[in-house]
Amino acid sequence: MLSIICSKSLVKKKSLKFNSYSQINYKILYCSIGMVFKNNMEKYTAIMTQWIHEPFVAKIAFVIILLLLTFVFKNIIFKTIGSKVVDQNNRYKARKALNFLFFLLAILIISLVFNDQLKGLTVAFGVAGAGIAFALQEVIASIAGWFAITFAGFFSIGDRIQLGGIKGDVIDIGALRTTLMECGAWVEGDLYNGRVVRVANSAVFKNPVFNYSADFPFLWDEIKIPIRYGSDIGKAKEIIELAAQTILESYEKHAAKEWKNLIKKFVVEDAQIKNFVSLTADANWITFTLRYVTDYKGRRSTKTKLFTQILKDIDSSNAVQIAGATLEITNIKGLNP
């Protein structure tokens, strides 16, 4: 019994001695880590202090602060324009102009702050410029195209154009690409097909630019009506002219004013704006052709209105009949039962 008690007391003393050693080791470890951390912190603090006092680093921090302030100021102006400017076209132009101005301002800030450093790199920039110009010739051509579009008046936002083989309405003009809402393709007529197409601005130097709406927002169009032989030709022409006068009168008045402005700007003959009807005949039928002007966005709707009115009037007239590619057997002798 006494031996058991002694053995327990020895175990307690060993455990106490081990615990005291463990605590001492942990303290030494903590002190070592603290000293290393303190030395490193002092080292890093000295490096950071030296780094912050570097003029180049101070310039970078100054530029970042100025650019952030410029960005905040630009967003405030954009919100003001969005709430004050009602017209969508004017709002778009204002936002584009401000983006360009703030871009130039950012370049100016960087150039002024790092003026001393940039002086020594002029030769390097000159040597690298040749290689960059060759590698980015398409980009440079697109930027030159943007200048031509903006200042030469090739087209503007909202115009309907055909550029690089793509026809559509201009919805955005960027420094590198022009964005179109495409018309046509698998959709008949001048209607949107839903595709948004981006065409490189360099296309204005490589392909013709067709503008449907810039200087004269009207187009000449034609419809053909085949009339059967034996119909009253005078009555048929009268029906077509009456439908044209009823539907096209508003277009023709506006188009006449726009055409006069176009004549003052370009050397163009004084074309006939008033609609007219011409007639041709062949072995099958008589063809009446109605030539007229219409709004560049309303070709299909105008055709629908004209055909609807003309067919309605012909249907109600007994003197005129529409011709068609049909075979008519009038009388064959010897086949009667």
Residues 27-45 pLDDT 10s: 555 555 556 555 566 665 6
Domain housing 305: 218-315
Tokens 């004050």 correspond to 84
pLDDT tier for residue 306 given thresholds of 50, 70 and 90: very high
Residue of 58 and 194 predicted with greater confidence: 194
198 and 248 co-located in one domain: no
Which of 211, 231, 258 is where one domain is finished? 211
Residue of 111 and 184 predicted with greater confidence: 184
pLDDT given for residue 297 in this prediction? 87
90 and 63 co-located in one domain: yes
pLDDT of 3 strictly over 60: no
Decide the pairing of beta strands 210-211 and 276-281: unpaired
Among 205, 199, 202, smallest CA distance to 142 is for: 202
Does residue 194 fall inside a structural domain?
yes
Q: Check which CATH number belongs to the domain holding 228 and give it.
A: 3.30.70.100
Which of 193, 211, 229 is where one domain is finished? 211
pLDDT of 299 strictly over 80: yes
180 and 263 co-located in one domain: no
pLDDT given for residue 184 in this prediction? 82
Which of 84, 100, 135 is where one domain is finished? 135
170 alpha-carbon distance from chain centroid: 6
pLDDT tier for residue 243 given thresholds of 50, 70 and 90: very high
Starting at the earlier edge strand, list the strands of the sheet with 286-295. Answer: 218-227, 286-295, 276-281
pLDDT of 17 strictly over 50: no
Q: Check which CATH number belongs to the domain holding 198 and give it.
A: 2.30.30.60
Q: Which of 91-100, 101-110, 299-308 has the lowest mean pLDDT?
A: 91-100
pTM exceeding 0.85 = no
65 and 114 co-located in one domain: yes
Starting at the earlier edge strand, list the strands of the sheet with 166-173. Answer: 192-200, 177-183, 166-173, 160-163, 210-211
pLDDT of 87 strictly over 60: yes
Report how many domains make up the chain. Answer: 3
Provide the token pair at 274: 């008033």
Per-residue pLDDT tens digits for 164-182: 889 999 998 888 899 999 9
77 and 119 co-located in one domain: yes
